[in-house]
């Protein structure tokens, strides 16, 4: 399976989930609000989404050189993390069942992209664009700080550090996803877990906007929790990476809220 096809499957699944959720949670009036804002205030709406895409583009470009810089100036903390946690992730995988693995692998891939997509549709549907601005800044800041920490710290995930104890359940379930993940990450980029930090960021913003979108936290928080758990269950991240990701996500929400 080609990279294009794998990407299409993941993005297509997330896009379908976003569309269904938009219809269910926003309704006709909400979707009309998105169209109205794009027509009447395109610059205000698109500049914040454009900011996010610009950061993603720069992040993608810098990640090609980040591992080389990291090998020169980075601190290898893999041994320290393993010394703290021991076999925690391996013990966690003792809970593995086929259906749980399939669910968490799907959530890790498609659910994560859905979490990052739907809020921008929802927040673009209302007249007050401050939630859209805060979400854009918060998500962008996650990537900026994440890249900096990936450069400063060299850390191999549990599936690489403990290949005889921790099974790469994501690749065992969907082996073709290695084509996609190899394009967006490296084996040393695990501290902190950006899947965790961004999921926490979106969940906190969902809670913050619960009065305007009361049903969104009921969707966002369980999916975010599933993504966070999946990072360890699938053998991708240590619990330490997850804790650091939670702190990073909370900081980015705090900063974006203060910055307004």
In a structure prediction context, what are the per-residue pLDDT tens digits for the chain, which is 260 residues long? Answer: 565 676 777 778 888 888 888 888 888 888 888 888 888 887 877 887 787 778 777 777 666 666 666 667 767 888 888 888 888 888 888 888 889 998 998 999 889 999 999 999 999 888 888 899 999 999 999 989 998 898 888 888 888 777 777 788 787 777 676 656 655 666 667 889 999 999 999 999 999 999 999 999 999 999 999 999 999 999 889 999 999 999 999 999 999 998 76
Residue 120's nearest CA partner among 5, 255, 220 is: 220
Are residues 197 and 146 in contact, defined by beta-carbon separation less than 8 angstroms?
A: yes
β-bridge partners, 76? 154
The structure tokens 């203060």 sit at: 258
Per-residue confidence (pLDDT) for residue 217, from 0 to 100: 96
Residue 125's nearest CA partner among 213, 257, 256 is: 213
CB-neighbour burial class of residue 114 (10 A; exposed 0-12, middle 13-18, buried 19+): buried
Buried-state track 214-244, b at ≥16 Cβ within 10 A, e below 16:
eebbebbbebbebbbbbbbbbbbbbbbbbeb
> Structurally, how many domains does the chain consist of?
1
Phi, psi of 9 (to 5 degrees): -65, -45
Are residues 49 and 129 in contact, defined by beta-carbon separation less than 8 angstroms?
A: no
Give kind and range of the element (H or E) at residue 228.
helix 216-233
Interatomic CA distance for residues 236 and 246, integer angstroms? 16
Per-residue confidence (pLDDT) for residue 43, from 0 to 100: 81
Phi, psi of 153 (to 5 degrees): -120, 130
Interatomic CA distance for residues 254 and 246, integer angstroms? 12
Per-residue confidence (pLDDT) for residue 241, from 0 to 100: 94
Enter the pTM of the model: 0.89
CA atoms within 13 A on the CB side of 6: 16
Q: For residue 74, is it left (φ>0), alpha (ψ between -120 and 50) or beta?
A: beta
What is each CA distance from 130 to 8, 127, 144, 249, 258, in whole angstroms?
Answer: 31, 9, 21, 18, 12
**Segments forming the whole domain that contains residue 198:** 3-259
Helix %, strand %, coil % for the chain, to 5? 80, 0, 20
Interatomic CA distance for residues 78 and 21, integer angstroms? 39
Are residues 40 and 33 in contact, defined by beta-carbon separation less than 8 angstroms?
A: no
The structure tokens 């980015």 sit at: 252
The CA-based diameter of the chain, rounded to the nearest angstrom, is 58
Interatomic CA distance for residues 233 and 91, integer angstroms? 9
């Amino acid at each position: 399976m080609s990279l294009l096809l794998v990407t299409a499957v993941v993005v297509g699944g997330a896009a379908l989930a976003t569309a269904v959720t938009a219809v269910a949670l926003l309704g006709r009036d909400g979707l009309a609000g998105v169209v109205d804002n794009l027509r009447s205030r395109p610059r205000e709406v698109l500049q914040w989404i454009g900011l996010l895409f610009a950061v993603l583009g720069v992040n993608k470009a810098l990640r090609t050189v980040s591992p080389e810089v990291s090998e020169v100036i980075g601190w290898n903390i893999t041994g320290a993390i393993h010394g703290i946690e021991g076999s925690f992730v391996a013990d966690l995988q003792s809970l593995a069942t086929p259906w749980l693995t399939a669910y968490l692998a799907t959530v890790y891939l498609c659910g994560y992209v859905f979490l990052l997509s739907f809020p921008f549709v929802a927040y673009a549907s209302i007249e007050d664009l401050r939630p859209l601005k805060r979400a854009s800044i918060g998500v962008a800041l996650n990537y900026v700080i994440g890249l900096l920490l990936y450069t400063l710290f060299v850390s191999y995930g549990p599936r690489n550090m403990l290949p005889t104890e921790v099974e790469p359940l994501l690749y065992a379930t969907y082996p073709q996803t290695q084509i996609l993940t190899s394009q967006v990450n490296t084996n040393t980029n695990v501290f902190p877990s950006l899947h965790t930090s961004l999921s926490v960021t979106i969940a906190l913003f969902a809670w913050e906007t619960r009065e305007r979108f009361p049903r969104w936290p009921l969707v966002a928080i369980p999916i975010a929790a599933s993504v966070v758990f999946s990072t360890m269950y699938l053998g991708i991240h240590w619990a330490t990476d997850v804790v650091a990701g939670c702190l990073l996500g909370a900081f980015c929400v705090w900063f974006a809220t203060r910055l307004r």
